[in-house]
Structure 1
Amino acid sequence: MTDLMTRKAALEKRLAELDDRLHEIRDELVSHNSADWEELATEREEDEVLEGQGLQGQAEMAAIRAALDRIEAGDYGFCTRCGTEISQERLDLLPHTPFCKACAR
């Protein structure tokens, strides 16, 4: 039970970090208004990178929310595909994973 609460706290902390980062990305994206064409081109390239990071962050946040839902439902730590218990080592690396190693392939 303590391990589960530790994992829940870690997931909630990561969710908050991602939320902060996504707000920073949004603020950065709306702040670009350079009049210089060269600077504007560079800003647009940077925007593409930021947008990619934002999409990755949103996907991770969705996975974390799903993991938190599984904790609440009592299903956390079990593969959503086959029902097998997910190894602690795998959960240590990917605490929000819904799949055991075999099903993740």
Structure 2
Amino acid sequence: MNQSGTPDNKRKQAVALKYQAGAMEAPKVVAKGKGFVAENMLKTAKEHDIPIQEDPSLVEVLGKLDLDQQIPSELYQVVAEVLAFVYRLDKGGAKR
């Protein structure tokens, strides 16, 4: 996930989530960064063909969570939509 095309007064942000299908746990924040770190996260994701979903508002909220913290229940719906997007990409139903 990333926030791109940000105004000059805002640095680029990125947050990576990990979700184990079938696990009884909510997705967790496994990486996050701003500026140069965010750019490197996005570059690495693209190099490894990892889907990127752009949602600046979601990145802003997720960026406030601690590393290894599960997402709060208030974000389940929106994160489920992101996971559905990734699932469609993996099944060839959408273009990256």
TM range (shorter): under 0.3
More strand by share: 2
More helix by share: 1
TM norm structure 1: 0.26
Higher CA-based Rg: 1
